[in-house]
């Protein structure tokens, strides 16, 4: 049984897996890690392995906790991956992107896959049918665009994101929502269409915090899975068990 831990700047997402099957998901604050880990181990005493992925530089305390009761794997530049990484600067590639590509490799090994992660940034990652990761793109996310309009201008307000945005904004607020939401939707559709021109058989996956809002607006067929990243981390762990 595996415990997968993905540490962000302030919160932690975790999941318990039995091989490739997820048993339970968790979300909690970083400062509550010790208490939550004890709770998880109490509910699932069979946990023997763990995978830690973190954007925080110092995870020594978390590592000590996990190492004490599990065989710990830490995702870093030396971790063996279940796909061929053709990225020109692998040392700069985000761990979240590695995990997403791994999930694409697990679920669509012999297919061309474009994974779109709609979070703070919108990342595009492409894996071909030969199980090779070629790279992708990074673009500002919805909240970043809304905050950028307010920060870099003297009069535009910070607008709260909503699911509805008119094509023609009849107020400053609606104009901002129209520009951001319709702009991102058109951006996604346009990029997907360009990939489909070069790769006829393409599976498109949309994941991340803004999945719910964007999946309703993007015209291209998309398979949305909010837990895709944790599945990818678990696949990397399972792959490394056999190495």
pLDDT by position in tens, the chain (length 243): 999 999 987 789 999 999 989 999 999 998 899 999 999 999 999 999 999 999 888 889 999 999 999 999 999 988 999 999 999 999 899 999 999 999 999 999 899 999 999 988 999 999 999 999 999 999 999 999 999 999 999 999 999 998 788 999 999 999 999 999 999 999 999 999 999 999 989 999 999 888 888 988 888 878 877 789 999 999 999 999 988
CATH class belonging to 93-232: alpha beta
Indicate the annotated binding residues for ATP: 6-13, 120
The pairs formed by 210-217 with CB atoms below 8 angstroms and a separation of 24 or more are 210/118, 210/119, 210/141, 210/142, 211/118, 212/163, 213/142, 213/161, 213/163, 213/181, 214/118, 214/142, 214/184, 214/185, 214/188, 216/163, 217/181, 217/182, 217/185
List the domain boundaries for the chain: 2-74, 93-232
- Catalytic annotation, pick one of 43, 58, 96, 189: 96
2-74 is a CATH 3.30.1300.10 domain: no
Q: Please name the residue that has the structure tokens 């318990």.
A: 16
pTM of the entire structure?
Answer: 0.91
Indicate the annotated binding residues for substrate: 87, 94-97, 172
| 2-74 against 93-232: fold identical | yes
Q: Where are the beta strands (DSSP E) in the chain?
A: 2-7, 11-18, 21-29, 49-54, 71-74, 84-85, 112-118, 121-127, 132-140, 202-207, 223-224
Residue 125 among the catalytic residues: no
């Amino acid at each position: 049984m595996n415990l997968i831990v993905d540490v962000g700047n302030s919160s932690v997402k975790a999941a318990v897996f039995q091989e490739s099957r997820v048993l339970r998901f968790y979300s909690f604050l970083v400062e509550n890690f010790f208490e939550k880990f004890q709770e998880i181990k109490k509910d699932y005493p069979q946990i023997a392995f763990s995978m830690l992925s973190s954007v925080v530089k110092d995870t020594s305390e978390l590592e000590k906790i996990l190492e004490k009761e599990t065989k710990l794997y830490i995702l870093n530049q030396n971790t063996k991956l279940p796909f061929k990484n053709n990225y020109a600067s692998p040392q700069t590639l985000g761990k979240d992107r590695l995990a997403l590509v791994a999930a694409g490799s697990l679920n669509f090994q012999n297919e061309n896959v474009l994974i779109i992660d709609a979070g703070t940034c919108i990342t595009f990652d492409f894996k071909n049918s030969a199980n090779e990761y070629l790279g992708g793109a990074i673009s500002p996310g919805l909240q970043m665009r809304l905050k950028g309009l307010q920060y870099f201008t003297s009069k535009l307000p910070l607008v709260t994101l909503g699911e509805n945005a008119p094509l023609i904004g009849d107020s400053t607020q609606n104009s901002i929502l129209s520009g951001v939401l319709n702009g991102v939707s058109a951006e996604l559709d346009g990029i997907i269409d360009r990939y489909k021109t070069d790769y006829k058989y393409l599976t498109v996956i949309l994941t991340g915090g803004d999945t719910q809002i964007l999946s309703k607006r993007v015209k291209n067929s998309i398979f949305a899975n909010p837990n895709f990243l944790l599945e990818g981390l678990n696949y990397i762990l399972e792959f490394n068990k056999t190495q």
